[in-house]
Structure formats: structure tokens, C-alpha cells
């Protein structure tokens, strides 16, 4: 009996233990499944959408329209993603509207159609334009220049009788009919009569309108908040709008109250807290409360800095700050705008520079001054030019006929000493003296002596200079000049560049031909009677009337055994033997025999050849493919 009871107890314990283990395993599986489900259904973040797509709409009915269309890629298409970011409808449409009651209107192959959530076409729409407004449960459509609205069943709700329509907002939409604007509801009933020739709608519920040639503001109910009595009325900025009445300008608030009286002949818009005004041919600045901060007594006023105004009185110029305080006496014949904290100023016929406190930081002793590069300034005296920095220190003496920022091709085309070529603009300056050219750096150090007759940009960090019928190259980074050559020609092999990462070679000549690399260093000695530029890793060269090919290391890759050879193109090169032409590959295998009277390089899979006075085209196997008859 005891043994039987013990057996029963052990059996019960075992059964409970097994159930507990199974329950635990089941709980783990459920937790893992929930975690996995959470991971795959977690909503996509707006920044993730913006990172992947150029355009996107808000989610409607769980889907958002997205596009890869950009200003540079007009062929981009539209499609739809779900809330996890999965593309559930592919990007194949020219345009896509949000979903509205299970259907989205899209443009496909120039036609407006309706698709369901599976991307299946369920509707054809014969309209030129369709724009959905899901939040207002209405759809704007246009056809033959007229506009109207459909309901969510895509039935005409408001006939297409309007020239222009704006979106519905709060069950109202502004529409234009027969040249006049009015407001309607969703049944097409007129809420505000058609009477305004111009409308500038605002989401602030105050709308600028024009009627009978005059402007005013109305609210959403059509009530005149600011009466239509003004010949000009601007937009509100910080609660103020510029207006014109009876030939004078002033400012109104949003209640239509005059906050700055109508006494000025002209008022510019506020820039910050100041606005330029004109009254009786005199100028000044007013603040937002109408107070004259800078008295309206000057012949001209002009902002030249964040807080400074240049004023003119009795033909003289000075500077006044934004509080009306004179900081530079009105005693100069001219004051230019500020750059790096200083401005060019003229007094007694001479030019110099002053700072914002009116101190002369560069003496007013020059015939002319010009902003140059960064904090450097060009100065002229007795028809010669030099350079000073903003502290007034002369970094280049006043002895040059011309000084140019940067290097430019054909310097004789530059006519002004302050011309700004783009190449090396901030690093190197071109100097001209006694009809010779040289180069200095931004610290005024001469890096190329002023002995050259021509100076040109050449390639990347190389500058080409001409003297005594020879060219040299100056390496900007290394500060070195190459040897002299009678000819220097740059050639970039596009095929080479794509395959080998911008390998480039420069062909040079001094009776014999050779090559320089992109640094201006000689990599192929001048030993050839003639050489073509590199193409597809090889250059055709000639020595003692025999032609072959060298590789990029300058080694002979194909022996000089041909009477003539041309560049490689599409893996094949024209060669001549005994007056006949054929083609070899880069292994010097004759793949098309030398049987032609004339042969040209391969282009787009074909080469033009001539044989027995007949011209035709062959492929890379030597088979005729065009003009074979």
C-alpha cells in the first residue's frame, strides 16, 4: 500500500514538473514572438523617411506617398510605404495623392487613375489635374482650364466652373470666377460674393484683398477689418503692415489703427528694427514705434554693417550707429562697405581704410583702394599697386603694374587690377611688372620670379609659364619649377581614369617626346621621335621610323616593329606593315590582318576601313557589319 502511494505521489510530481517546464518554454516562445513582432512592426521615424526619400506625405489610412524625385532628377517616381517603412506600392507613378476612403489617385503614363491598397487600378478619371484633401473629405479636379470638386465617391460635388480655386479649410474655399474672387462652402453655395480682383490668402485668417483699385484686409467671414481705402498695403511683419494713402506712406496694426503716421514719401520695409524713410528729398531711419532714430535730414543713408549707417550731408559722408550716435564724423568724400571690420574711405582725394570706431587703420594716402582676398586689400599709388593687410602692414611693396588674385589662362585678357580669377584665388597671386609675370603667395613671398612672358593655369596644382620660347611647369604644392620644354600638352584618358583612379600623363617635347606625371615629374625620358598620349594604359611611340607601345612605367610593352601605330581603342590598335593596316590587341597579337588600305580606330564596336577603293565597317572579329555590298 505504501509503495503504491509513493508511486502515485512520484507520478503526480513528475506530471507537474513536466507541465511547468512546458509552460516555461511556451512563455519563452511567446515572448520571443512578441519581441520579433515588435521589431518588425515598429513605426518608421520621420527622419528615416527623409533620409531615404526626397519627398513624402503624411500617413493617411496607414500609408504615405513617397518619392525619389528631386530638382536634379525629374524622372523620379512616386509610390507608398506603410508605417514600418516597407514599400507596399512600388515607386512607378509620376504623382501620387494620399489615400482617401481606400483609394489613392495617382498619375501613371500621363493618366489619372485610382488604385487600392494593393496597387490595383480600380478607377479611371478623365481630368487634367487631381488633388485630394483627405482631412476635408474632398478632391479638387481640373479639366480644360476649369476647376471644381469631387466627393469621396469621386462624384462631382461642385461643378467645374472656376478659373482658380484654393484648398478647402474649415469647410470653406476661396474660388475665382469671371475674374473675381469669392468664397464658397462644400455645396458650392456662395458665402462671400465674387467681388475682389486680387486675393492674398493667409492662414492667420486675415486676407489681403483688392477691390476697385484699393486694398484692405478681411477676415474669414468677409468682414472688413482694415477698410479697402489704401493704394498699397503690405503683409504684416511683427503686427505691422506698410500702407499708402493720399500719396503718403505709413504703418497700420492688425486692427487697422495707424501706428506710424502717413507723412513719408517713401518707406522701405523694416530690416531688423529700422526702416529707411524719405520725406521732402531727405532720408533717415525710423523705429517700429515711429520714432526717428536717425533724423530725416540726410541726402542719402545706407546700412553698411550690422549696426552702422552711412549718411551723406552737404556732399560729405560719415557713420551713425543704430541709436543715432555719430561714430565717424561726416567729413569724408566717400565711405565703402565694411569688410573684415574696415571700410575704404576717401578724404582730400586720397583713399585709405577706417574701422568701425572711425580710426584710420590704413593711412589715407593712396590713389585708390580695393578689397582683395580675405583680409588683404589692394592699394594704388602713382599708377603702381601693392598689398596691405587689415592692420595696415604692407605685405607687397607698391611697385607692380598689376596684381591679380589667383591664376587665369591668358593673363593678357585681364584688364582690371582687382579681377578675381577662380583658380588658386586664395593661395597665389599673379604679379605683373615691366610686362613680365611672376607669382607670390598670400604672405607676399615671391615663389616664381617675375621673368615670364605668359602664365596660364594648366592642371590641378600645376601652373604653366612661358619664357624664351620654352614652357615650364610650377608645382604649387612643392614650390618647384620643372625643366623647360618646347611643348607641354595635358591629356586625360577617360577610360584610364575610370579604371585606374585618375592616372594622368603630360606629354612634353624638346625635339624628342616624353611624359611627365601629374606632379610634373619626368616618368618617360624624352627619347622618342613622336608619341601619342596614353590611352587604355598604353602610348604609341616612334623611334627610328618604327612604332610600338610603352606602358605607364615607361617600359616597352610592344616592340617598335611597325611602320605606324595608333592609340588603343576598345582594346585594339591600328598598326601598319608594308603599306597595309590591321589591328593588334594589347598582347601584340594580330587579331585583324594587315590587309586594309586605310583603317580607323574602333568606336562603339565598329571600325571604318578601306579596301580596294571600297569603304565599309568591321567588328572586332574583322567581319563586315555595315556597307558590305
In this predicted model, what pLDDT tens digit does every residue of 71-82 receive, in sequence order? 455 678 999 999
Low-confidence ranges of the chain (pLDDT < 50): 1-40, 71, 409-423, 493-502
Cell of 488: 607641354
Give me the pLDDT at residue 189, please: 97
In order of 296, 343, 369, 391, the CA distances from 328 in angstroms are 18, 12, 19, 19
Give me the pLDDT at residue 426, please: 67
Return d(Cα 601, Cα 616) in angstroms, integer.
13
Return d(Cα 455, Cα 457) in angstroms, integer.
7
In order of 120, 126, 490, the CA distances from 453 in angstroms are 73, 71, 20
Residue 208: Cβ-neighbour burial (10 angstroms; 0-12, 13-18, 19+): buried
In order of 110, 156, 504, 565, the CA distances from 460 in angstroms are 47, 64, 11, 31
Q: Give the DSSP per-residue string, 30-60.
A: HHHHHHHHHHHHPPPPHHHHHHH-SEE---B
pTM: predicted TM-score of the whole model, two decimal places: 0.63
Q: Is 489:506 a contact under the CB 8 Å cutoff? A: yes
Largest CA distance in the chain: 132
Q: Which residue has the cell 615607361?
A: 554
Return d(Cα 549, Cα 558) in angstroms, integer.
5
In order of 96, 542, 546, 547, 559, the CA distances from 539 in angstroms are 54, 10, 14, 10, 12
Phi, psi of 519 (to 5 degrees): -90, -5
Q: Is 414:404 a contact under the CB 8 Å cutoff? A: yes
Residue 611: Cβ-neighbour burial (10 angstroms; 0-12, 13-18, 19+): middle
Cell of 217: 484686409
SS3 at position 220: coil
Return d(Cα 590, Cα 585) in angstroms, integer.
7
Q: Is 155:172 a contact under the CB 8 Å cutoff? A: no
Phi, psi of 358 (to 5 degrees): 90, 5
Rounded to a whole number of angstroms, the CA Rg of the chain reads: 40
Give the H or E element holding residue 2. helix 2-41
Return d(Cα 154, Cα 101) in angstroms, integer.
11
Q: Is 629:617 a contact under the CB 8 Å cutoff? A: no
Q: Give the DSSP per-residue string, 486-531.
A: SEEEEE--HHHHHHHTS--EEEEEESEEEEE-TTS-EEEEEEESEE
Give me the pLDDT at residue 442, please: 87
Cell of 65: 506617398
Give me the pLDDT at residue 425, please: 57
Give the H or E element holding residue 440. strand 436-441
Give me the pLDDT at residue 375, please: 85
Q: Which of 246, 252, 193, 268 is nearest to 217 (CA)?
A: 252
Amino acid at each position: 500500500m505504501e509503495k503504491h502511494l509513493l508511486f502515485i505521489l512520484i507520478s503526480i510530481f513528475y506530471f507537474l514538473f513536466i507541465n511547468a517546464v512546458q509552460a516555461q518554454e511556451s512563455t519563452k516562445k511567446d515572448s520571443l514572438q512578441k519581441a520579433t513582432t515588435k521589431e518588425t512592426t515598429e513605426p518608421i521615424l520621420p527622419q528615416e523617411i527623409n533620409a531615404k526619400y526626397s519627398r513624402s506625405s503624411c500617413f493617411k489610412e496607414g500609408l504615405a506617398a513617397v518619392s525619389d524625385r528631386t530638382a536634379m532628377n525629374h524622372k523620379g517616381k512616386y509610390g507608398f510605404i506603410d508605417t514600418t517603412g516597407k514599400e507596399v506600392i512600388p515607386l512607378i507613378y509620376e504623382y501620387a495623392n494620399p489615400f482617401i476612403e481606400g483609394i489613392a489617385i495617382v498619375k501613371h503614363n500621363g493618366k489619372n487613375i485610382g488604385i487600392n491598397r494593393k496597387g490595383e487600378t480600380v478607377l479611371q478619371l478623365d481630368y487634367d489635374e487631381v488633388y485630394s484633401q483627405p482631412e476635408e473629405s474632398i478632391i479638387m479636379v481640373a479639366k480644360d482650364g476649369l476647376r471644381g470638386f469631387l466627393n469621396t465617391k469621386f462624384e462631382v460635388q461642385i461643378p467645374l466652373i472656376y478659373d482658380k480655386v484654393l484648398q478647402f479649410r474649415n469647410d470653406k474655399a476661396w474660388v475665382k470666377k469671371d475674374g473675381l474672387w469669392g468664397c464658397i462652402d462644400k455645396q458650392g453655395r456662395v458665402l462671400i460674393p465674387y467681388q475682389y480682383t486680387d486675393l492674398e490668402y493667409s492662414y492667420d485668417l486675415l486676407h489681403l484683398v483688392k477691390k476697385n483699385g484699393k486694398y484692405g484686409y478681411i477676415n474669414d467671414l468677409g468682414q472688413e477689418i482694415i477698410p479697402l481705402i489704401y493704394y498699397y498695403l503690405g503683409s504684416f511683419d511683427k503686427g505691422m503692415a506698410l500702407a499708402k494713402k493720399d500719396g503718403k506712406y505709413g504703418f497700420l496694426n492688425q486692427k487697422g489703427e495707424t501706428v506710424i503716421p502717413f507723412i513719408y514719401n517713401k518707406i522701405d520695409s523694416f530690416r531688423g528694427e529700422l526702416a529707411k524713410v524719405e520725406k521732402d528729398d531727405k532720408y533717415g531711419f525710423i523705429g517700429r514705434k515711429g520714432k526717428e532714430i536717425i533724423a530725416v535730414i540726410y541726402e542719402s543713408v545706407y546700412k553698411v554693417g550690422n549696426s552702422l549707417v552711412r549718411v551723406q550731408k552737404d556732399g560729405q559722408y560719415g557713420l551713425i550707429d543704430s541709436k543715432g550716435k555719430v561714430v565717424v564724423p561726416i567729413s569724408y568724400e566717400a565711405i565703402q562697405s565694411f569688410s573684415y571690420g574696415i571700410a575704404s574711405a576717401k578724404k582730400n582725394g586720397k583713399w585709405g581704410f577706417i574701422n568701425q570706431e572711425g580710426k584710420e587703420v590704413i593711412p589715407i594716402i593712396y590713389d585708390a583702394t580695393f578689397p582683395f582676398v580675405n583680409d588683404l586689400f589692394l592699394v594704388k599709388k602713382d599708377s603702381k599697386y601693392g598689398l596691405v593687410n587689415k592692420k595696415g602692414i604692407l605685405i607687397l611693396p607698391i611697385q607692380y603694374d598689376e596684381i591679380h588674385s589667383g591664376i587665369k589662362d591668358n593673363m593678357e585678357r585681364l584688364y582690371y587690377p582687382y579681377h578675381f580669377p577662380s583658380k588658386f584665388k586664395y593661395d597665389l597671386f599673379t604679379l605683373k611688372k615691366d610686362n613680365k609675370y611672376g607669382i607670390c603667395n598670400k604672405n607676399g613671398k615671391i615663389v616664381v620670379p617675375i621673368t615670364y612672358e605668359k602664365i596660364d593655369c594648366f592642371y590641378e596644382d600645376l601652373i604653366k609659364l612661358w619664357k624664351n620660347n620654352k614652357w615650364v611647369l610650377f608645382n604649387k604644392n612643392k614650390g618647384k619649377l620643372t625643366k623647360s620644354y618646347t611643348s607641354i600638352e595635358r591629356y586625360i584618358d577617360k577610360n584610364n581614369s575610370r579604371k585606374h583612379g585618375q592616372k594622368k600623363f603630360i606629354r612634353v617635347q624638346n625635339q624628342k617626346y616624353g611624359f611627365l606625371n601629374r606632379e610634373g615629374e619626368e616618368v618617360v625620358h624624352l627619347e622618342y621621335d613622336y608619341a601619342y598620349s596614353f590611352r587604355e594604359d598604353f602610348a604609341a611611340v616612334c623611334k627610328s621610323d618604327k612604332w610600338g607601345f610603352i606602358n605607364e612605367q615607361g617600359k616597352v610593352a610592344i616592340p617598335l616593329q611597325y611602320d605606324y601605330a595608333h592609340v588603343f581603342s576598345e582594346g585594339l590598335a591600328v598598326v601598319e606593315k608594308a603599306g597595309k593596316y590591321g589591328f593588334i590587341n594589347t598582347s601584340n597579337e594580330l587579331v585583324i590582318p594587315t590587309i586594309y588600305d586605310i583603317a580607323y580606330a574602333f568606336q562603339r564596336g565598329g571600325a571604318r576601313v578601306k579596301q580596294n577603293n571600297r569603304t565599309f565597317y568591321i567588328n572586332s572579329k574583322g567581319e563586315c557589319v555595315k556597307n558590305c555590298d
